[in-house]
Structure 1
């Protein structure tokens, strides 16, 4: 490794530091040769040389010759070095990648240097998951992160945020100013935390499988199993519960999503699913379909459950729940109201 302390003694005129001498010799070599030498320096050494080059005084030819002799090599006699900052940038571009040059010259903060990889990884995540994470952050942080996401994915995340907060966050994003390096570093750390949570979520295949099994059961059976599991591990319950969606969970579904879902399901299935259901769930469903469909289903329900196989009711309810899960996975509806408000129709 090249060492600045090996450059020799003082020269005539204003004394040059060891880093000044290294910068002067690299500049004299020209970018073709100097660029090949850059790989022998550490990043810290390169940064020191860059700083020296940007403030380096004019080096007359005779002084340059003395510098060259110190290295015991033969160089073409220089004609005086001017515009050193631009020259050192040209040398760096010859031997390093654009990203490395930007980093060494301080053109981008550390946060921005990792920008592409961070945002590429984020846009592969579930928008609902990103939105839940962002709800724990300051609105200004949310605005900055949204501004950095690819437009199509950022729009999906924005729609997952509570409607009551969207206007404020959009306003902050529109008026977003330059972020200081210190603030950018703090945000970067939070983004890395988010990525870690995403990876942990992806690896939790066990909770997903248990949720899939429970989604095939009736509510009373699921409640019993969750209670049993909670007696052993509340953490496990917290991992499984958000992945469970049953017919009765239509009560906590946002009204707009509920309308989209139920108008996509045949009247026969809805009628069967509502047999024996509570008055609350019946009104929730019937208030979300067309008046004509409501009248037909209400008429059919007057017959009660006599002669109806309970298994057929369970199958119909599972069909509704599974369709809800399918549409949610496709990003067409939300399973739960993120604002926690009353989701039922007036």
Structure 2
């Protein structure tokens, strides 16, 4: 949605709260708080901030109640996180939020908090639009791009990698997987690039990131086509490296390696249509294991649904498998099941 001209009255808000600007979120929050409380809040902002928020308040009309609720929930979570950071530091806040909100939601909140705290230029990048970041990294040296991706949330890094050209994908992932200790000087140089490009003045932070574990984590959340292309190209450069990364990844057919009771918990949460579509492209071993871990009635219904699907697009199968894997990862984050692609204790029934 393109922005309205300055001062345009009655601008409709986007449906998705993620599409709101910071000023729009602030305006939504102030309207929800009421005139008296909003006036007290505005006293703590500088003139430029007051002007930006006031413009959005004037433009706003008919904010959906669901949108307002999402903004209020985000404010509550971020305020709670900042309180936890004050009490016990960043890692303590992340640990408490993981318990309260789940890993994915907690990471989203912590990205905003760390950016607001100005922990490092790398954390600022967490809040930049994916398309903008993709264009930014496309212009940078692959080594610089790899180091920046290593500091991003794996899901955001996966979105960016998927948006790059195939040759650049594999080059960056190779460099990310083979990153060793990074000198403070290089970190400072790259943060300077980020500050110059994005116009932010943020303190430096020294860290060692990257390696095959992070490469595997990023590839786990990319599209299957990007994953295959990157692994094929990495294999051309280093069979050992590609194999090491692949061994750390968890793919759909690895569900054969989890315990029967964990698979049963997972299947209870999965949509049957997704399951039928996902099994359409799965190994016979996985299909057999699934059938053994559902009731006879469900197994019969699944068989019939798979048969009725006929020819299906590979992309549809991959999307269904990804949705199932996302549920599996969410259950693992809650410690309700254990996923392992290389566990000696895993049992194949």
Q: What TM-score, normalized by structure 1, do the two folds share?
A: 0.36
If you compute each CA radius of gyration, which structure gives the higher value, 1 or 2?
Answer: 1
Q: What TM-score, normalized by structure 2, do the two folds share?
A: 0.35
